């Protein structure tokens, strides 16, 4: 049977706001009921998310964001933090300057590489239509798809663009391979057509801002890991899902406390300043990427290292002078995030910044600022709890991540370092 004639889809809009309460237009999305998934009784939980970023070249690897897509299919694989009887997808044109025309999409259970498990591919619809136009600066939620999933399942979303998209709203560092094919290959279960991928590389996610589920077993409220590249997962295994938020989710599941852990990290992101290629500042994006996700109960904040290490935005080719970064400015910014979380009933856990001795840009001055901020996080009582990543990876206080636990650059953890981070978190502190 043709995949596009087979599946029943049913149809909730949410708004996306920054801490500064900047509104974002939303495209129309179905809220109608139908079939096996009655909308009136649904309670949706975030199962996966990625912070959206403006199109740009990446400083460290190749992406497709600037060129966008034209008469191409894009297949992206994500691992869900919780499961349910139905799933829906949040697609974003947040940084688009023209409407995004999506000609069609499918979802199915991911197999190896770009392959999808046969018999699981179903069309994704928007207001009962195959195609949709997402306005510039907007986002949209798909209609629900009756696709049963469990925690840690992998699903593959395929987007089909029958025309030029222009530069693509995206998440720069996915540590997961995204696949591209010429022509319409939404219904393909095999990987043969998807010959194009960024290799070797760290991958990116395009237009995909979140996945939500409903109808599953009750789970705890979501934990959001909010931070920089050490949250985003630089140095983890490509396609290995061994970033610290992934490993924390596995710990929670293994100990009988299942709850999704959403990754809201952005590599090279700053706490205080926006960047042309490393995302809006943590202050600006906190509400959108953390508080506006459904059913969030706790946030782990690991932020400030890039402010300490880099002035201006030179890595993005922007020559500017930012105000000097001081301990007080960093503390004030952390307090702002804590107040915003508490105002929404979200528990705030502060994470200490890890050492970077041996990295080529280490200086005594920057390390002193890192240590002073860590001391405030540990002792001020401003946070509800502390995740002491610094002492976990460097218990002897050498000022460096031990060999074997960093990714070769003395700054980012490798898989073993991410395991130490995840294992150091007191699960009770998450509420």
Mean pLDDT of 205-217: 96
pLDDT at 41: 56
Mean pLDDT of 20-44: 45
- Where are any strands of DSSP class E within 50-207? 72-79, 86-92, 100-102, 104-109, 122-124, 132-134, 139-141, 154-161, 170-171, 179-182, 205-206
pLDDT at 162: 98
CA distance 26 to 136: 9
Q: Which residue has the tokens 């996915």?
A: 174
pLDDT at 36: 37
pTM score of the predicted model: 0.92
Q: pLDDT grade, residue 40 (50/70/90)? A: very low
Q: Write out the two tokens for 117.
A: 């498990």
Which has more confidence, 357 or 17?
Answer: 357
In this model, does residue 51 exceed pLDDT 70?
A: yes
Buried b (16+ CB within 10 A) or exposed e, 305-325: bbbbbbeebebbeeeeeeeeb
Name beta bridge partners: 92.
Answer: 139
Mean pLDDT of 187-197: 97
Using one digit for the tens of pLDDT, what is the confidence trace for 244-297? 999 999 999 999 999 999 999 999 999 999 999 999 999 999 999 999 999 999
In this model, does residue 400 exceed pLDDT 60?
A: yes
CA distance 109 to 147: 9
What percent of the chain clears pLDDT 70, i.e. is strictly above it? 90
Q: pLDDT grade, residue 20 (50/70/90)? A: very low
């Amino acid at each position: 049977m043709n995949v596009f004639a087979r599946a029943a889809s049913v149809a909730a809009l949410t708004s996306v706001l920054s801490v500064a309460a900047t509104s974002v237009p939303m495209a129309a999305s179905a809220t109608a009921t139908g079939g096996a998934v009655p909308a009136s009784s649904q309670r949706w939980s975030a199962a996966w998310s990625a912070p959206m970023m403006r199109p740009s070249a990446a400083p460290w690897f190749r992406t497709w964001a600037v060129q966008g897509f034209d008469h191409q299919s894009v297949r992206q694989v994500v691992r869900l933090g919780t499961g349910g009887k139905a799933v829906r997808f949040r697609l974003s044109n947040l940084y688009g300057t023209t409407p995004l025309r999506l000609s069609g999409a499918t979802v199915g259970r991911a197999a190896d590489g770009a392959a999808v498990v046969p018999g699981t591919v179903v069309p994704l619809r928007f207001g009962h239509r195959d195609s949709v136009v997402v306005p510039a600066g907007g986002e949209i939620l798909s209609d629900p798809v009756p696709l049963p999933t469990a925690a840690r399942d992998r699903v593959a979303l395929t987007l089909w663009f029958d025309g030029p998209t222009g530069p693509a709203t995206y998440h720069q560092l996915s540590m997961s391979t995204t696949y591209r094919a010429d022509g319409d290959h939404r219904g393909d279960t095999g990987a043969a057509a998807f010959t194009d991928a960024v290799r070797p590389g760290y991958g990116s996610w395009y237009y995909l801002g979140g996945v939500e589920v409903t109808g599953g077993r009750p789970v705890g409220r979501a934990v959001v890991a909010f931070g920089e590249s050490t949250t985003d997962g630089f140095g983890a295994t490509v396609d290995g899902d061994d970033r610290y938020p992934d490993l924390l989710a596995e710990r929670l599941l293994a100990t009988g406390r299942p709850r999704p852990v959403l990754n809201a990290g952005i590599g090279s992101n700053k706490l205080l300043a926006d960047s042309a290629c490393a995302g809006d500042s943590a202050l600006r994006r906190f509400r959108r990427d953390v508080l506006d996700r459904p059913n969030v109960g706790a946030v782990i904040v690991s932020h400030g290292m890039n402010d300490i290490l880099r002035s201006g935005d030179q890595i993005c080719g922007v020559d500017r002078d930012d105000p000097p970064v001081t301990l007080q400015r960093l503390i004030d910014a952390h307090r702002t995030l804590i107040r915003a979380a508490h105002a929404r009933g979200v528990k705030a856990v502060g994470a200490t910044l890890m050492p970077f001795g041996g990295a080529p840009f280490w200086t005594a001055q920057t390390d002193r600022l890192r240590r002073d901020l860590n001391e405030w996080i540990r002792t001020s009582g401003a946070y509800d709890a502390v995740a002491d990543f610094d002492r976990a990876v460097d218990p002897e206080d050498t000022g460096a991540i031990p060999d074997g636990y960093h990714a070769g650059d003395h700054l980012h953890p490798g898989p073993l370092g991410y395991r130490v981070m995840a294992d150091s978190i007191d699960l009770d502190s998450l509420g």
